[in-house]
Amino acid sequence: MRMVDIIEKKRDGHELSKAEIDFFVEGYTNDDIPDYQMSSLLMAIYFNGMNEEESSRLTEALLESGETIDLSSIEGKKVDKHSTGGVGDKTTLVLGPLVAACGAKFAKLSGRGLGHTGGTLDKLESIEGFNISLSTESFLDQVNDIGIAIAGQTASLAPADKALYALRDVTGTVPSIPLIASSIMSKKLASGADVIVLDVKIGEGAFMKTLDDARELSRLMVRIGKDFGKKVTCFITDMSQPLGFAVGNKLEVIEAMQTLQGNGPDDLQRLCTEIGAYLLQGAELAEDIETARKMIQESQETLKASDVFKEMVERQGGKMPDLNEFIKTEGIIAVKSEAEGNVQKVNALDIGLSAMRLGAGRTKKDDAIDYDVGLVLNKKVGDKVEHDDVLAYVYNNKEDITEELKTILGAFTITKEHVERPPLIVDIIEE
């Protein structure tokens, strides 16, 4: 078999066989196929796509390129959730303890943030002593004991995907739906969960920009999950404005802890409740979605979910923060409105990039993070605004952030017209 023949076949719009897909995945992983040939094939896939069978074959090849996590020693059905990335997205910190408090086994491998989107591991590591590098034995034991563990992904999971993604990133082939679907699903399947909910973000602050593309991606990932015997549901959710109010690592931890006690923002609360309900029903812990919602609400009212979060932090070496002393910044600056009316838009991308430049995120993988900085929004889409009302509070440790304050102010669009609050959950895609 020759790589050039595979390139030409896909260039001409034909379906690739399992043997051909296995050949180029294995060959590239082993450095037998050069970057220039793989780049050519990726571009051919970008323009001509892959059908559902090809996407499943590619997922399987990526999955088999490395190790898989064996969760069979964990009692009951294992649940997991993945987000395509957003601004202020601290869902995992809330969702995991909520469903664990209801009896689910939440075994989660997470990643770090890059660019304008934050990472779950960065938020957890803002807690003093929190250890994300668990051994397999410790990870499994903890999930069995308290229902939840959140740890870092290992390099041994789907290494072919890591190599291909790095090449896609520099060859303009990242926005390919079959490649995205195979990349996400290979890692989720390697993580071993039985029930998976995928949160596909759309809007300016998200990777997917249109609803049609998000639906196409979701349907494909649900189909791939079915091919592998997994229960997969995709939520398509709005990321045209940040989720919740807090953007920044420690700030988001605080908001997550407040939400676990039933005192969080409405949008974050609703999203965690709905995703959690689908996970509980999928794990056969609730007969229907409404029953599952009530279970989640009860776990907050009784503070059981909050206790699970505390137990997870302590089991993973962390010290539960005193919220009055958790944030350490040089100053908090209020960004005030220069207009009056109603908030028509809060540009999530601009907010996320500003938080990153303040130090809350990375432009390169080895950048250091300032866990204390970020923003807390005071107004969101649909809110009424008077002149000089505070739009956001900026937590800062830099000397001069004049330009960032202008960017944050410019992220808010104020109109005299009435503005309806946008729907958070746009669609739910199931089998």
The residues annotated as belonging to the active site are 82, 161, 168, 183, 187
Distance between terminal CA atoms of the chain?
A: 36
Q: Exposed, middle or buried, 115 (CB in 10 Å: 0-12/13-18/19+)? A: middle
Strands (E), 216-262: 231-238, 246-247
Q: What angle do CA 379, 213, 35 make, to 5 degrees?
A: 110
Of 91, 108, 82, the residue nearest 273 (C-alpha): 91
Handedness of CA 282, 287, 288, 292 (dihedral sign): negative
Strand partners, 196: 80, 232
The stretches of 126-228 forming alpha helices (DSSP H) are: 136-146, 159-169, 177-190, 211-227
Q: How far is residue 255's CA from residue 267's CA, in Å, rounded to a whole number? A: 12
Q: How far is residue 136's CA from residue 356's CA, in Å, rounded to a whole number? A: 32
Answer for the pair 312, 146: CB distance below 8 angstroms, yes or no. yes
In 3-state terms the chain splits into helix, strand, coil percentages (rounded to 5) of 45, 15, 40
Q: How far is residue 341's CA from residue 413's CA, in Å, rounded to a whole number? A: 10
Strand partners, 235: 199, 428
Say whether 337 sits in a helix, a strand or coil: coil
Q: How far is residue 321's CA from residue 251's CA, in Å, rounded to a whole number? A: 12
State the DSSP string of 339-354: S-EEEEEE-HHHHHHH
Q: How far is residue 184's CA from residue 172's CA, in Å, rounded to a whole number? A: 18
Handedness of CA 394, 398, 401, 404 (dihedral sign): negative
